Amino acid sequence: MNFSFLPAEVRFYDYFERATANLLEAAKLQQGLFDHVEDMEDQAAQITETEHRGDFIVHEVMELLPRTLLTPIDNDDIQHLTSSIDDALDSIEETAASVLIYQITDIRPPARKLARLITEGANELHHAVCGLRDKKHFKEVREHIVQINTLENNGDRVLRDALAELVATCRDNPFDLIRWKEIYERLEETTDRIEDAGDVLERVIIANA
């Protein structure tokens, strides 16, 4: 088995940054899907491409991990960070698939709000990950993590209000209630997965401060 030192350390950071940049791209595509429903199929196809790129990054990280003697952060944290980012990406793809399956043509405002929160969260996560290479940036990393938590809390509130509005307005249209409940919950789940990645980053900076 071949072991590597500094080059592998650098490569792990590169993979983290590529993964969060890819997640941010998917989030922007998802926001575009909800803002421009007429381009739904093209946006969904591009989201699927980002998901495939994400799977490749996960594969590369998991291949590199057992061949690396010294890793920049704890092995478990590497796996948890990578899987959390990938879970958020999978959730975005599942949301796009639901929009296509349910043939959504009229986007409800809460969906746009949640999509924007996801984009903001992915952006904060990317900036946080980019600060991991140097301890002098850990203060900024923590600030990004706090913002991720705030965005997730906002997502919870948007979801509660959206579900209440669905129940009030869709009593005579159970199909609308079912499909929009699923889409709202998938969107909010994505904010949870981004927060999971932020939680891993918090453990990392505490352990390495």
Any bridge partners for residue 68, and if so which? 4
Q: Helix, strand or coil for residue 124?
A: helix
Residue 67 has a pLDDT of 86
Q: Whole-angstrom Cα distance, residue 122 to residue 129?
A: 10
pLDDT of residue 6: 46
Q: Which domain CATH number covers 28? A: 1.20.58.220
The answer to whether position 119 is within a domain reads: yes
**Residue 205: per-residue pLDDT:** 94
Residue 4 pairs in a beta bridge with 68
Residue 159 forms part of a structural domain? yes
In a domain, 1, yes or no: no
CA trace torsion 184, 185, 189, 190 (10° rounding): -20
The pLDDT assigned to 37 comes to: 83
- Got the DSSP string for 149-175? HHHHHHHHHHHHHHHHHHHHH-TT-HH
Q: What pLDDT, on the 0 to 100 scale, is given for residue 9? A: 67
In a domain, residue 51? The reply is yes
Q: Do the domain assignments include residue 77?
A: yes
Provide the residue range defining the domain that includes 92.
6-208
Q: For the chain, how many structural domains are there in total?
A: 1
pLDDT of residue 127: 98
**Which residues have CB under 8 Å from 99's CB, separation 6+?**
33, 40, 44, 183
* pLDDT score recorded for residue 100: 94
Whether 17 is in a domain gets the answer yes
* Helix, strand and coil percent figures for the chain, each rounded to 5: 85, 0, 15
Q: Is 33 part of any domain?
A: yes
Dist. CA 106–CA 183, nearest whole Å: 13
Q: What is the pLDDT along the chain (209 residues), one digit of tens a residue?
A: 444 444 566 789 999 999 999 999 999 999 999 998 888 899 999 999 999 999 999 999 999 998 888 888 999 999 999 999 999 999 999 999 999 999 998 999 999 999 999 999 999 999 999 999 999 999 999 999 999 999 999 999 999 999 999 999 988 899 999 999 999 999 999 999 999 999 999 999 999 87
